Amino acid sequence: MAPGNRRERERAEREQLIIRTARELAETEGWEAVTTRRLAAEIEYSQPVLYSHFSGKAAIMTAVAAEGFVELATALRAARTAATGVRESLAAVARAYTDFARERPALYDAMFTHAVDLQFASETTPDALQAGFAEFLEVVGPVAGPDAPGLLAETFWAGLHGLALLERSGRLLGQAHDDRLTLLIDRLTVPR
């Protein structure tokens, strides 16, 4: 069974190589540049190898998206724990979120625009998703007032998601990002 382990390990490594290469390609040249031929050439294997690891291109994108959710959760957690105070935590998490979306547009697209098959209530990769949402819950809890924290967290998240997308497509005025973020936090996080 000795070689079997090596084969398995090498296989796992190659799978990681595929995911990493797809992500790098997407982040540097956009997802439209990530074709199965190009990806195969980049990892120095033939196309069919990709299909021995993933059921198709969509599955590869989903794998990249899963990585993204892990990193997003990490970033949110780091922002929250580094901040002190309710208002500061909210602002830190909000900023970390929009920064993430702005700095990794291709990754963010894989997570939210493509890869719709990644459900929240599923068992495929719910850990990172729930972990990310938990950060919102944590930071929003103190200002929930009579409202359900889950509801407020979802709405807060939606606001950030909308801001990230609209700003990226150039549909909001110039550089007022900070002002909009402040407005969102100021208003959304004050119970009536």
Partner DNA sequence: CCAGGAATCCTAGCGGTGCTAGAGTCACCG
Partner DNA sequence: CGGTGACTCTAGCACCGCTAGGATTCCTGG
113 binds, among a second copy, DNA, none (CB under 5 to 8 A by kind): a second copy
As a whole number of angstroms, the longest Cα–Cα distance in the chain is 65
For residues 31 and 40, give the distance between their C-alpha atoms in angstroms, rounded to a whole number: 15
Q: Is 190 in the site for a second copy (CB under 8 A)?
A: yes
Long-range CB pairs of 165-168, under 8 A, 24+ apart, other chains included: 165/101, 167/98, 167/102, 168/101, 168/102, 168/105
For residues 53 and 11, give the distance between their C-alpha atoms in angstroms, rounded to a whole number: 9
State which residue, 53 or 69, has the beta carbon closest to a second copy. Answer: 69
Q: Is 49 in the site for a second copy (CB under 8 A)?
A: no
User: Of 7-15, 48-56, 64-72, 143-151, which part binds a second copy (CB under 8 A)?
Assistant: 143-151
Which positions from 91 through 120 interact with a second copy, judged by CB under 8 A? 112-113, 116, 119-120
Q: Provide, rounded to whole angstroms, the least separation between the CB of residue 30 and DNA.
A: 12
Q: Is 102 in the site for DNA (CB under 7 A)?
A: no
User: Of 6-14, 42-50, 65-73, 182-190, which part binds a second copy (CB under 8 A)?
Assistant: 182-190
Q: Is 15 in the site for DNA (CB under 7 A)?
A: no
The angle that helices 177-188 and 86-103 make with each other, rounded to 10 degrees, is 140
| Residue 39 in tokens | 């990806």
82 binds, among a second copy, DNA, none (CB under 5 to 8 A by kind): none
Q: Provide, rounded to whole angstroms, the least separation between the CB of residue 53 and DNA.
A: 9
For residues 185 and 177, give the distance between their C-alpha atoms in angstroms, rounded to a whole number: 12
State which residue, 42 or 99, has the beta carbon closest to a second copy. Answer: 99
Which positions from 22 through 51 interact with DNA, judged by CB under 7 A? 34-38, 45-49, 51
User: Of 51-59, 75-83, 85-93, 155-163, which part binds a second copy (CB under 8 A)?
Assistant: 155-163
Residues that bind DNA (CB under 7 A): 1, 3-4, 6-7, 11, 34-38, 45-49, 51-52, 56-58
